[in-house]
Amino acid sequence: MTPTTDPAGHRERLLRLDRALAATSHWWQPLPFREQCPRWVRETPELVAALRALTPAQVERLEADPSALAGLLGRWIPTLRELQHDGWPVADGVGQAAPRIGDNRDARDVPGRKWQQLQAFGAAVLAGGIDADAPLVEWCAGKGHLGRWLTGHAASPVVSIERDRRLCAEGAALATRGRAGAQRFVPVDVLDPTQAPALSALLDDAHVVALHACGDTHRRLLALAGTRARRIDLAPCCHHKSLELPRTSVEPRARLELTRDDLRLAVTGTMTAAPRERRAERRRREFTLGLIALREAVSPATVARPFRSLPAAWARGPFDEFVRLAAPRIGLDLPARFDVAGFEAEGRARLHEVERLSLVRHGFRRAIESWLVLDLAVALEDAGFECRIEAFCAPSLTPRNLVIRATRIAPSTAGRRQDMRDTRAGSPVAAAGDAVSPAAWDRAAIAASRTSDGPR
Ligand SMILES: C[S@@+](CC[C@H](N)C(=O)[O-])C[C@H]1O[C@@H](n2cnc3c(N)ncnc32)[C@H](O)[C@@H]1O
């Protein structure tokens, strides 16, 4: 069902972005890491020369500054400049929540950037208001730092849902710092279909907060809460952690089909990684490219065969040790002797090239992320919510800084709630629940949510 109105303009914006991304896919879909010569490399030698001339410091600055990158690339890709003007507003309340008792101790125990992120996210949640009679549910809570922070700033108790029992136990111990009994942990795998009835009951008329819920887990949230939650504040993350690929839009007129690599592009970016981690990652990539060069030389028939990314820990030692560890993983029969220094240097040279050519693809990172976030917002609007999309903090704090703030304006019907609760009743969700993949299960639930009977 396509609604007749689009008051926030999200559907229109999704379709505009979809057209722009589809028309420019030859720029952002090829991976220079795998494809040595994407089409645009052959067709725009001037751009290639400009990229090759960049110093390492310039590459780093452009990676950290999307507008500077769009400025550089815009001469050849005008669409990027247009997309750059299409930013998101900053959430109300950011940086305005007053500190509460316990904050100082938390600030010492929660890693610095995480603490700032959750404060910023929490402030955006508070600015939207918290209904005293709506239970607060924290989705994929980790140790429940956000939930704990919220118990200090709002009267409602918080239920924190998390798969990892160790994190639940540690979170429960930390919760004793806050109001007695204000935060409860529920150790559950939200993707487990047999847990759907219990989760649905928890989400009923609730205010759900989800900070950095990954791939299928945020889609599961929409599927379950779409018909029953009162409010949802969702900052989605790790879109590529999904069983449903390629990813298509809920909007039937949209054309993009995103592969796992495309989805990963939306969440790459090392802006917040520590310099030591960045150096380790560079070395891993350098060595991997050296290994690929070696494979091309000794086993040309296997050149196109992809392999899973190799652990950074293997690259801590020298290059030849890395190659010996990695050869069995990539199915390479190592010759007794090879030019270690030569292939290591080749890896370094290739990385130099790849880092520069990848800037083009990276220029589209935010646009793809926006497409994914818009798509989630449109799904929620179809399910009866009014949505706002905002940036809850600066990208230097976390590049995954977009929050969808959804407030129900049209009801889920009592009848449909019953359908979704009763997993043996033969509803679309119930019928699919036990037997099919979580992705199909989600689709069924979203489809069910779209059969809404209209405003209450
Ligand atoms: C990126 S962390 C975010 C944690 C927390 N919300 C925060 O921002 O600090 C994602 C969390 O989701 C949890 N998670 C992943 N898959 C899950 C699942 N299927 N069911 C429940 N929790 C899950 C992970 O264990 C992890 O703690």
Strands 231-237 and 402-408: antiparallel
Mean of pLDDT values over 334-344: 94
Structure tokens at 292: 């690929």
Separation of CA 190 and ligand 1 centre (Å): 10
For residue 167, the ligand 1 atom closest to its alpha carbon is 27
Binned at pLDDT 50, 70 and 90, residue 143 comes out as very high
Separation of CA 237 and ligand 1 centre (Å): 10
Output the residue whose Cα is nearest ligand 1's atom 27. Answer: 142
The owner of tokens 């689709």 is: 443
Separation of CA 189 and ligand 1 centre (Å): 10
Chain segment 237-287, per-residue pLDDT in tens? 999 998 888 899 999 999 999 999 899 898 876 556 778 888 899 999 999
Mean of pLDDT values over 71-97: 84
pLDDT of residue 301: 77
The three-class DSSP label of residue 234 is: strand
Residue pair 147/158 in contact by the 8 Å Cβ criterion: yes
Q: What is the pTM of this model?
A: 0.83
Output the residue whose Cα is nearest ligand 1's atom 12. Answer: 140
Answer yes or no: is the C-beta of 348 below 6 A from any ligand 1 atom: no
Output the residue whose Cα is nearest ligand 1's atom 1. Answer: 212
The neighbour count for residue 190, using CB atoms within 10 Å, is 22
Domain ranges of the chain: 275-361
Answer yes or no: is the C-beta of 267 below 6 A from any ligand 1 atom: no
The neighbour count for residue 8, using CB atoms within 10 Å, is 16
pLDDT of residue 221: 96
Binned at pLDDT 50, 70 and 90, residue 103 comes out as low
Chain segment 355-374, per-residue pLDDT in tens? 999 999 999 999 999 999 99
| Cα–Cα distance measured from residue 432 to residue 429, given in angstroms and rounded to the nearest whole number | 5
pLDDT of residue 299: 84
Top-confidence residue, 418 or 408: 408
Top-confidence residue, 91 or 44: 44
Residue 186 has pLDDT above 70, yes or no: yes
**Which of 11, 25, 9, 4 minimizes the C-alpha distance to 376?**
11
Residue pair 383/417 in contact by the 8 Å Cβ criterion: no
Top-confidence residue, 274 or 310: 310
Answer yes or no: is the C-beta of 162 below 6 A from any ligand 1 atom: yes
Sequence-distant contacts of 244-250: CB under 8 A, at least 24 apart: 244/216, 244/219, 244/437, 244/439, 244/440, 244/442, 244/443, 247/372, 249/14, 249/18, 249/371, 249/375, 249/378, 250/375, 250/378, 250/379, 250/382, 250/446
